Amino acid sequence: MELTRRDALSALASVGIVAGGGSAFLASGDDGADVSRRQIVETMGAAADVLYPTEVTGIHAFVETYLTRKIDGRPAYRSQLGRAVVELNETAQDWYDAPFAELSVELRTQLLVEMGIPEADPSADPGETTARRLRYYIWNDLQYALYSSPTGGRLVGIENPQGHPGGLTYTKQP
């Protein structure tokens, strides 16, 4: 099933972002490291390769549309996400000698698991540990984008998932 521009726009709508665009800029991580929009998008696309089911296509374009607009629209979020991306890349560099996006999907998966992200507390207030921050800003943000979009919903069998304003389709026969 292909993720479309409509899915990305819809996922954006569900986080409250309607307009976007803007020039390339630097998003500052809280630790002082600068991280470019390109780096954020590449890292998140690489993470989505791990997190999204194999039958989904169009992942990178979806993530790019969703994220560039979301980080433009929410400066505080951009800075937290930037910090998470820096941390993920630093860990990838330390452990496997390459940025996260340059690792094979197997190594990316292994890294996320080794960092304890699947088991990390997924709830809000993610500032406490690296694992929680990555869980909140990288892992769960990608899951939210996918499963509140029409295509993500359809994968599961619901064409109007929570978070998506898909209208009053609840009466329809399956």
Question: Footprint of another protein on this chain (CB under 8 A)?
Answer: 13-17, 50-55, 74, 118-119, 121-124, 136, 139-140, 143-144, 146-148, 152-153, 155-174
Closest by CA to 21, choosing from 30, 10, 12, 29, is: 12
Least distance in angstroms from the C-beta of 5 to another protein:
19
Least distance in angstroms from the C-beta of 52 to another protein:
7
Indicate the residue among 83 and 132 with the shorter CB distance to another protein.
132
What's the CA angle centered on 67, arms 66 and 71, to 5 degrees?
Answer: 130
Q: How far apart are CA 154 and CA 31, in angstroms?
A: 39
Indicate the residue among 55 and 97 with the shorter CB distance to another protein.
55
Least distance in angstroms from the C-beta of 15 to another protein:
5
Indicate the residue among 123 and 129 with the shorter CB distance to another protein.
123
Indicate the residue among 102 and 159 with the shorter CB distance to another protein.
159
Closest by CA to 20, choosing from 64, 82, 57, is: 64
Closest by CA to 80, choosing from 136, 41, 122, 119, is: 136
